[in-house]
Structure formats: structure tokens, C-alpha cells
Amino acid sequence: MGPLSRRDFALATLSALTTAGCGAAATGTAEIKRGGGERSDGGRSGGGRSGTKGATGAPGARAVTEMRGVWMATVENRDWPSRTGLSAAEQEKELIAHLDRAVRDRLNTVILQVRPTADALWPSPYEPWSQFLTGTQGRDPGWDPLGTAVREAHARGLQLHAWFNPYRIANHTDPGLLTPAHPARVHPDWAVPYGGKLYYNPGLPAVRAFVQRAMLDAVARYPVDAVHFDDYFYPYPEDGAAFADDEAYERYRGAFTSRADWRRDNIDRLVREMAAGIKRVRPGTRFGISPFGVWRNASTDPRGSDTDAGAQTYDDLYADTRTWVRENWIDYIAPQLYWEIGASGADYGTLLDWWAGVAEGSGTRLYIGEALYRAGAAGADGRPEAWQDPAELSRHLTLAARRPQVGGHIFFAAGDVANDPIGAMRRVVADHYTRPASPPR
């Protein structure tokens, strides 16, 4: 056999890695990030900004390196494709338009959701083609969306981060609606219905090994710049409903006497193992996570933030995001600070300071997730009037520029960048992005 290509070597490494791993003991609105407890859906520590006035792009400022990112959600066709059933050429045209818009706004990173519901936007040997492409799960769309996205993003000087949802299977609870060969139908014991959705059970080692194989396949095939998780680990709790993992807990609890601690350990294992897998499969590819913005309220834990948020990642999602940063298990964290400045219960500035303190000296870069989708959305839905002011989001960046731990911002989401109903994104660009910036590497 002749020398292996980089891709073949990566795939061979992936096969060896995952074989070993197997032996080891929102709807469209639902995908919108949670802020203020509503159910809608870094700098010095890792090399953030360089240059004196680079964050504002003021005349005479030196070149900057900072994250200027945008999420592009595919679940329920939230951002792209605009609807199911478009031709391959139409889908690609829309994708290119989003990339070109990012360049025009002087953004430098696109975070593309490539595994929204235990499916794939690439020809995966593990999971079916996403229904959000053709309208039918498993139907070949006639092109390679992820491969094209990586190529076209890089051609424009953009980084492409591959965004995966590890455990969400479907936005319904009927396995019969999945393709016959779907892993959740082949292994029905892997799936747990909860809150009107279907999830893989994070407490099963076989599940953890499988979802890593499925995600690392994309890393092996394509030169993505980073792997990205968002805020979905164990599902957000539903009042009066229990996540049915009794059997898994009894079988795999080991020495744990607390189910909450055991669940957190399951998520910690996923994070650590995924980080190691990425480094083995494609060295140099980074790993970032964008959690809900509150780790714990100070009333729950003195190490927490001075907030009164309705959800806490440590207690509700079993995601110990603070530890991931402090232990440098991930390359970057992008907490979703989807509140306004001065918000009661969860003030943007308070959380900004808290996360800056957590990232300080950790080696994990800190980027801030920004709620562009809320701009112009006040009024009928009861959202604060602050989001009717086009300058609110720009003020966030001005405030963050005073904290050297903050290495940039990511905006939710691409559809809102395109529509920009009250000009909030245009204001950000005018106030802060007058010059291009290099993406962090």
C-alpha cells in the first residue's frame, strides 16, 4: 500500500480511536438560545484582542485578532436552507449568500449547524442525511453541504466551525418517523422521550461512544477549523417530568451516590473524550462550547454569578461549564449572554464580569454569545424594551472591550444578520467593525 493521504490517515485514526472507545466502560423558535430563563428557542486567558483600539476599529488602530462569529442554524430551517426541497443549486446559492454577507459585515467565522437532530449535512456512514435539506430524512440532497461550506468559507477568508448537537435525536417522540436504519431505531434502548422530543441517553457508554464516532467522522473528512457544541446536554427540565434514566443509573452509577453527580460526570466524559478525539483525528482543530450563560446563581453557590436566572447549567443541564474552562478541557467558551444591560435577575454586565473572572488565567479563550435575534423583538412577546433600541447590542461590545479576557463575540443568528429589522447589526458594524479582523487560531 502506498502512503496514506491526510484524509485516509485521519479516517484510519478515527476507526482505531472509536473502536477502542466502544470497549470503554428546537423547533425554529426552540433553537433560539435561551436568555433570562425564557424557553425560546478570551483575551488575556487565551490571546484575545491585539492592538490598542482594535475593538472599535478607530483610525490608527493596529490590526486585531478577535472572534467575529455568526451561528447558522439548520434545525427546522431556522437560518438555512430557507425551506426544505430546494434544489442543490438553490441551497448552495443561499449558503454562499450567507457567507458573502458575513464578509461584507467584516465577520470572520461561521458556525454551521451540521448535525441538528442525530442526522448529517455530509455523507455520513453513521447517520442519515438531514431532513432539513430535502424534507425527507435520509434522502441524498445531491451535493455535499459541509464540504462546500468549508471550501467556500476558506476561499473567502472565513473560518468554518462545525456545530454539532450531541444528544438530540428529533423534535418529536415517535421513533417510527425516523429512517428504518436510524441508530435510534436499531437501538431503541438508547432513546429517551422527554418534553415532546427524543434524546439519546447520555448515561449509556455505548451512546457516548457512538455520538463521538458520528461527529468525528466529519472532523476526519473535512478541514473544519473547530468543533462546536451549544447548550444542549441533558435537556432543559420540564415541570413535573423526569428524564427516564433509572436503568442506566443503576447499571453504570459505579461509586456515585448522587444521580446529579453521575449525570455531570457523563457530560464531563463526553467533553474530555471529544477533545482528545479531535486532537487525534485532526490536530490543530479547536473545540468550543457555547453554554447557557449562567453556571450557577450565587444564591446556590458562592462561586456563582450575582444572578437569579431560571436555569443553571450545573444543576439543570448537568454541564459543569466553569470546570471545563478552569481545567482547560476546551479551547474556547462562548456563554450565551442573551440579556440586556441592566436586566433584572441576569444583567449582561454582571455576567460579563463573572465569565471574565472565570476565564482569567485559564488558557481557555472567552467569546461572548450575543442575542441579535432579540433586537426589535420587544412588545407583543413581552421582551424588554431595551431590545427595541438599535444601539443595545453595540453597547454590549463597548462594555466587553474594557475586559481583556474577552476575545470577541458570536451573533445568533445568520437569518437575523440578513434581516436586521431595526439595524442593530448595522450599528455594531459601524461602531466596532470598521476594519477587518483576523480570526483567532
pLDDT value, residue 63: 59
Backbone angles phi, psi at 309, to 5 degrees: -80, 155
Contacts of 3 (CB under 8 A, 6+ apart): none
Dihedral angle, C-alpha 243, 247, 252, 256, nearest 10 °:
60
pLDDT value, residue 91: 98
Spatial distance between the Cα atoms of 34 and 371, rounded to a whole number of angstroms: 9
Residue 303: closest CA among 319, 314, 311: 314
What does the pLDDT look like over 227-282, one tens digit per residue?
999 999 999 999 999 999 999 999 999 999 999 999 999 999 999 999 999 999 99
* 274 and 212 Cβ atoms separated by less than 8 Å: yes
Q: Phi-psi bin for 406: left (phi > 0), alpha (psi -120 to 50), beta?
A: beta
- Counting as low any pLDDT under 70, the low residues of the chain are 1-63, 378-383
pLDDT value, residue 377: 81
Spatial distance between the Cα atoms of 28 and 40, rounded to a whole number of angstroms: 9
* 311 and 37 Cβ atoms separated by less than 8 Å: yes
pLDDT value, residue 26: 36
Spatial distance between the Cα atoms of 191 and 176, rounded to a whole number of angstroms: 12
Backbone angles phi, psi at 407, to 5 degrees: -105, 15
Residue 203: closest CA among 266, 153, 127, 257: 266
> Is there a cis peptide before residue 223, judged by omega within 30 degrees of 0?
no
pLDDT value, residue 122: 98
* 374 and 35 Cβ atoms separated by less than 8 Å: yes
What does the pLDDT look like over 281-303, one tens digit per residue?
999 999 999 999 999 999 999 99
Spatial distance between the Cα atoms of 371 and 105, rounded to a whole number of angstroms: 17
Spatial distance between the Cα atoms of 337 and 366, rounded to a whole number of angstroms: 12
Instruction: Walk across the sheet containing 191-194 and list its strands.
Output: 168-170, 197-200, 191-194
pLDDT value, residue 379: 55
Three-state DSSP string of the chain? CCCCCHHHHHHHHHHHHHHHHHHCCCCCCCCCCCCCCCCCCCHHHHCCCCCCCCCCCCCCCCCCECEEEEEECCHHHCCCCCCCCCCHHHHHHHHHHHHHHHHHCCCCEEEEEEECCCCECCCCCCCCECHHHHCCCCCCCCCCHHHHHHHHHHHCCCEEEEEECCCEEECCCCHHHCCCCCHHHHCHHHEEEECCEEEECCCCHHHHHHHHHHHHHHHHHCCCCEEEECCCCCCCCCCCCCCCCHHHHHHHCCCCCCHHHHHHHHHHHHHHHHHHHHHHHCCCCEEEECCECCCCECCCCCCCECCCCCCCHHHHHCCCHHHHHHCCCCCEECCECCCCCCCCCCCHHHHHHHHHHHHCCCCCEEEEEECHHHCCCCCCCCCCHHHHCCCHHHHHHHHHCCCCCEEEEEEECHHHHHHCCCCHHHHHHHHHCCCCCECCC
Residue 377's identity, in one-letter code, is A
Spatial distance between the Cα atoms of 81 and 84, rounded to a whole number of angstroms: 7
pLDDT value, residue 161: 99
